[in-house]
């Protein structure tokens, strides 16, 4: 059993016996390569910068609570 698993895992891109195989056109393969390669490489720095400069949620939540508390105090004192 273990030798069968080792043999199958060492043979790359070979479907199991009796499996139906399909072939993708070259344009489909190129599109997949572009969408999973360069597109991700272009979008990733923007995502990192957005996450880096996005204000921490806890700090913003505390700030909003303080502003609401001050607003309520002003409304009740008037």
In 3-state terms, the chain is what percent helix, strand and coil (to 5)? Answer: 75, 0, 25
Per-residue pLDDT at 4: 60
Place of tokens 């698993």: 5
Q: Is the pLDDT of residue 67 over 90?
A: yes
Q: How confident is the model at residue 40 (pLDDT cuts 50, 70, 90)?
A: very high
The stretch 59-72 carries a mean pLDDT of 93
The pTM (predicted TM-score) of the whole model is 0.41
Asked whether the beta carbons of 43 and 37 are under 8 A apart, the reply is no
């Amino acid at each position: 059993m273990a030798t069968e698993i080792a043999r199958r895992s060492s043979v790359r891109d070979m479907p199991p016996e009796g499996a139906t195989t399909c072939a993708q056109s070259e344009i489909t393969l190129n599109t997949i390569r572009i969408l999973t390669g360069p597109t991700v490489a272009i979008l990733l720095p923007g995502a990192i910068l957005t996450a880096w400069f996005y204000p921490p949620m806890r700090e913003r939540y505390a700030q909003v609570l303080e502003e609401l508390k001050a607003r309520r105090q002003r409304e009740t004192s008037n």
